[in-house]
Amino acid sequence: MTDLINAHKILTKDGKMIGVIMLNNPKALNAQNLDMVQTVRQVLRAWRDDKGVVVIVIHGAGNRALCAGGDIKSLAQAHDVDSVRQFFEQEYELMAMLYEYPKPVLAWGHGVVMGGGLGLLSACSHKVVTADTMMAMPEVSIGLFPDAGGSWFLNRMMGKVGLFLGLTGGRFHGVDALYLGLGDAYLENEHFDAVLEALVDNDWQGNHHGEVSKILTHFHKNPTKSSQVIECFHEISHLMNQGTLMEVDKALKNYQGDSPFIKNAIDSYLKGSDTTKAITWRLYHGMRPKSIRQMFEIENMVAVHCVIQGDFKEGVRALLIDKDKNPQWRYTLDDMPDGWIDGFFGK
């Protein structure tokens, strides 16, 4: 167990229990290390088998983030393959457990929800976003790839928006999440306690998933701002429908539009790892997993290779260790050897 996870149960008025899990690492935007992941898994296992627990709520400590992802600095400094493999296996097992969880799990996606944090939220049955939600799969900037279920939910977004977000690491908001399937209700962050109170006051005799949905619908408010993704959908589609990765790369580099959203995403893309881009392209177009479990098996294999032989350690060095923000990526798309990406998909 770890002090970085706060888990407790709240008694409802009809004698049931609400399980509440708080990621308690606010200085790191609630990024999860291995101990945190293992603790959450233990708690979820116990509450899954506890007939008194009717719903679980997951939120982040502080007011800045649900979760900014995994503890990538520690991962990059791991000295053996087994430690790397253990982290990904445990993280992905947590995600798979949430996808398959029989009870409703409400994730409060306020503030930063990125990388593994977005994977965590996407795996939950009920996803709350707010006006201050900031989402992204920014792995291109660190030489990993959009993992933690990204290979599942990005591939299922409308059009090729998921490909665009995976390649570029583009940042999007809560209102965008509603259209992309990553948000079920748009709430004011100040209503967190009121939602908990409504869960406590509820009669839990009916369908529990439906009851949670009903409560969230009551608190839901229509966004006052429009979706960047919807406004730019046709431009994104044009950029992503160029044919090959090299052709998409050229289109992004030659973008002449005036969308700040697309421009910011392209800025991130231009600084990112070309190995990551090629892996993301392969996962989007070439991988068709038959189940969540199979998808995570593929992601686990690729993720370990990224850390051991790919650009990951260099990306983390440049961003978080030396902080020079000048990563020396191993290859560009132009000089990438034949078979280089194949190596990330082998045992």
Give me Rg for the CA atoms of the chain: 20
DSSP character at residue 293: H
Q: Which residue has the tokens 């908990």?
A: 196
Would the pLDDT of 300 be above 90?
yes
Q: What is the mean pLDDT of residues 132-136?
A: 98
DSSP character at residue 281: H
Q: What is the mean pLDDT of residues 140-155?
A: 96
Q: Percentage of the chain surpassing pLDDT 90?
A: 95
Structure tokens at 259: 């969308």
Would the pLDDT of 146 be above 90?
yes
Say which residues have a Cβ less than 8 Å from residue 225's Cβ, sequence separation at least 6. Answer: 131, 173, 175
DSSP character at residue 242: S
Q: Which bin fits 15, alpha (ψ -120 to 50), beta or left (φ > 0)?
A: left
Q: Render pLDDT for 8-40 as a digit per residue (tens, 0 to 9).
A: 999 999 999 999 999 999 999 999 999 999 999
Q: What is the mean pLDDT of residues 323-330?
A: 96
Structure tokens at 96: 């798979």
CB 73 within 8 A of CB 321: yes
pLDDT at 165: 98
pLDDT, mean over the chain: 96
Q: Render pLDDT for 89-116 as a digit per residue (tens, 0 to 9).
A: 999 999 999 999 999 999 999 999 999 9
Q: Render pLDDT for 207-234 as a digit per residue (tens, 0 to 9).
A: 999 999 999 999 999 999 999 999 999 9
pLDDT at 282: 96
Would the pLDDT of 80 be above 90?
no
CB 90 within 8 A of CB 300: no
pLDDT at 285: 93
Q: What is the mean pLDDT of residues 179-192?
A: 97
pLDDT at 346: 84
Burial degree of 193 (CB within 10 A; 0-12, 13-18, 19+): exposed
Would the pLDDT of 140 be above 80?
yes
Half-sphere exposure at residue 345, Cβ-oriented, CA atoms within 13 angstroms: 15
Q: Render pLDDT for 38-64 as a digit per residue (tens, 0 to 9).
A: 999 999 999 999 999 999 999 999 999
pLDDT at 195: 98
Q: Render pLDDT for 162-177 as a digit per residue (tens, 0 to 9).
A: 999 999 999 999 999 9
Q: What is the mean pLDDT of residues 136-143?
A: 97
Q: Render pLDDT for 257-290 as a digit per residue (tens, 0 to 9).
A: 999 999 999 999 999 999 999 999 999 998 777 8
Structure tokens at 342: 């194949």
